[in-house]
Amino acid sequence: MKTANRHGGHGWPDIHRIPHPPHRIPFLGDLVGAHPATPVQDTMNIARNLGPIFRRKVFDHEFVFVSDSSMAAELVDESRFRKHVAESMTDLRDIAGDGLATAYHHEPNWQRAHDILVPAFTREALKSYHPTMLAATRRLLDSWDRCVGGAPVDVSRDMTKVTLETIARAGFGYDFGSFERADPHPFVRAMVRALKFSQQNAVEVPYIGSLLTRRAKRRNAQDTALMAEIVDEVVHRRMADGDTGTHDMLGLMLNTAHPETGERLAPANIRNQVITFLVAGHETTAGALSFALYYLVKNPALLAAAREEVARVWGGGADPDPSYEQVTKLRHVRRCLEEALRLWPTAPGFAREALEDTVIGGRHPMRRGAWAVVFTPMLHRDPVWGGDVERFDPDRFTPERVRARPAHVYKPFGTGARVCLGRQFALHEATLVLAMLVHRYELEDHADYQLKVHERLTLMPTGFTLALAHRAHHADGPGAASAGAGRETSQNGAPEPADA
């Protein structure tokens, strides 16, 4: 049962003050008239009509959304609010259990796993993942090279492959072989189906219950069992190898104890963390990359600026071999990703619950435990961003302009103690991949693609295909000395960091 978190009128004594869309129908709530495949985009339209705070009812679940900067400032205040594991997330718990993202804040396993895994996301750790990220990117390039002059590539599909291979290898030394298979790996198929199931299962009709059939439930049980089986096999193989290294996320979880308490993660919790990283760590990044490519293809001047930056920092040769530091120097490329995540935060919000009875916006009382969704797609279009919020403008992320606005108006990675642990990982990976792609290929928008956003757990362009050609490279950048040479030679003149 999912009644525990239902607040209806309970947690919000004056909920009648919060506007909701017209045409409320008992039971069906606002689902009637809405397009069920695009709840996020529908909610964006409702926000445009109803303003900074509104509620939506889906069957008997009532969600309060906040989308303006001043109330968001209140909700991200850690002294008044904390993460709420929302209903749509509690179903994710069937998949990811008490893994980091779906753990309740009060669960001891959250703090324990957080403290043990923080070392997996330091700058030093990121540097150590860099060669793995580069290797995964090269598999994408090999795959795209074969499409040059041939059939267009499906951008979102291939970004999903490269991010999945990256997190699986950096996290656990696992290879899904995404680029080599015709069909997705069985784990991926099970995961995608299980995520879809959990989303459908979140909707429960009063008196009828879940709309899902027994057969769907049985298949879901098989899917989650298969995922667990595959993860357990990876873990067992690592243990059987007698590998006590702490060079990746799995190594840290298996071989380190909590710095203060000396506690270790239990096997079932490690399994949940592995699944959490696989789920949280690839579709979101793949979406960010796909949206960024979309906006670059539609804005040739920004694309040219990205290419110019890559050639300047990495050299103009055909086959760059960037170091960790050389990726961090691509400021414009990174800003393109940040701006893509402003317009389309691929995990489109996060929920916050009141620590004590309080009032937000000066007039909306909340009882302790009542919660609201910070709806980032519209927070990121708040008037503080200027009058042209729909325009893709990476320069919004220059240091001066970032400093000139409050930090809480940009929250694609959540906030506070429960902020995304993988944000630097994701940005480094995506900057590397995006730079390699724009440097290597002419990206032809052969079908004059019109953005269509697909909503699963995350947001992703759908039907976005590009025709590829090789770009002509010439040796005129700082890397000119060895441009065109093999990968063995450093093309940048800068020594590789010893720990890369």
Which residues are designated catalytic? 284, 413, 420
Shortest Å distance, C-beta 421 to ligand MNH:
4
Binders of ligand MNH among residues 25 to 84 (CB under 6 A) are 83
**Cβ atoms within 10 Å of 364's Cβ, excluding its own:** 21
User: Which residue carries 């009032």 as its tokens?
Assistant: 359
Q: Is 285 in the site for ligand MNH (CB under 6 A)?
A: yes
Binders of ligand MNH among residues 79 to 108 (CB under 6 A) are 83, 100-101
For ligand MNH, which is the closer residue by CB, 199 or 489?
199
Q: Is 276 in the site for ligand MNH (CB under 6 A)?
A: yes
Residue from 346, 490, 491, 492 binding ligand MNH (CB under 6 A): 346
Binders of ligand MNH among residues 349 to 388 (CB under 6 A) are 350
Binders of ligand MNH among residues 141 to 180 (CB under 6 A) are 167
Return the bridge partners of 56, or none: 63
How many alpha carbons fall within 13 Å on the CB side of residue 347? 22
Q: Is 418 in the site for ligand MNH (CB under 6 A)?
A: yes
Q: Is 277 in the site for ligand MNH (CB under 6 A)?
A: yes
For ligand MNH, which is the closer residue by CB, 283 or 321?
283
Per-residue three-class SS string for the chain? CCHHHCCCCCCCCCHHHCCCCCCCECCCECCCCCCCCCHHHHHHHHHHHHCCEEEEEECCEEEEEECCHHHHHHHCCCCCEEECCCHHHHCCHHHHCCCCCCCCCCCHHHHHHHHHHHHHHCHHHHHHHHHHHHHHHHHHHHHHHCCCCCCCEEHHHHHHHHHHHHHHHHHHCCCCCCCCCCCCCHHHHHHHHHHHHHHHHCCEECCCEECCCHHHHHHHHHHHHHHHHHHHHHHHHHHHCCCCCCCCHHHHHHHCCCCCCCCCCCHHHHHHHHHHHHHHCCHHHHHHHHHHHHHHHHCHHHHHHHHHHHHHHHCCCCCCCCCHHHHHCCHHHHHHHHHHHHHCCCCCCEEEEECCCEEECCCEEECCCCEEEECHHHHCCCHHHCCCCCCCCHHHHCHHHHHCCCHHHCCCCCCHHHCCCCHHHHHHHHHHHHHHHHHHEEEECCCCCCCCEEECCCEEECCCEEEEEECCCCCCCCCHHHCCCCCCCCCCCCCCCCCC
For ligand MNH, which is the closer residue by CB, 201 or 284?
284
Q: Is 347 in the site for ligand MNH (CB under 6 A)?
A: yes
Size of the site for ligand MNH (CB under 6 A): 25
Amino acid making up residue 190: A
Q: Is 433 in the site for ligand MNH (CB under 6 A)?
A: no
Was 420 annotated as part of a binding site?
yes
Q: Is 280 in the site for ligand MNH (CB under 6 A)?
A: yes
For ligand MNH, which is the closer residue by CB, 83 or 335?
83
For ligand MNH, which is the closer residue by CB, 21 or 287?
287
Shortest Å distance, C-beta 380 to ligand MNH:
12
Sole window of 182-190, 278-286, 401-409, 465-473 interacting with ligand MNH (rule: CB under 6 A): 278-286
Residue from 168, 203, 421, 483 binding ligand MNH (CB under 6 A): 421
Shortest Å distance, C-beta 209 to ligand MNH:
26
Residue from 39, 414, 461, 477 binding ligand MNH (CB under 6 A): 414
Q: Is 482 in the site for ligand MNH (CB under 6 A)?
A: no
Shortest Å distance, C-beta 116 to ligand MNH:
12
Q: Is 265 in the site for ligand MNH (CB under 6 A)?
A: no
Sole window of 32-40, 135-143, 397-405, 422-430 interacting with ligand MNH (rule: CB under 6 A): 422-430
Residue from 412, 461, 477, 479 binding ligand MNH (CB under 6 A): 412
Residues at the interface with ligand MNH (CB under 6 A): 83, 100-101, 114, 167, 276-277, 280-281, 284-285, 288, 341, 346-347, 350, 412-414, 418, 420-422, 425-426
In the annotated binding site, the residues are: 420
- Binding residue numbers for heme: 420
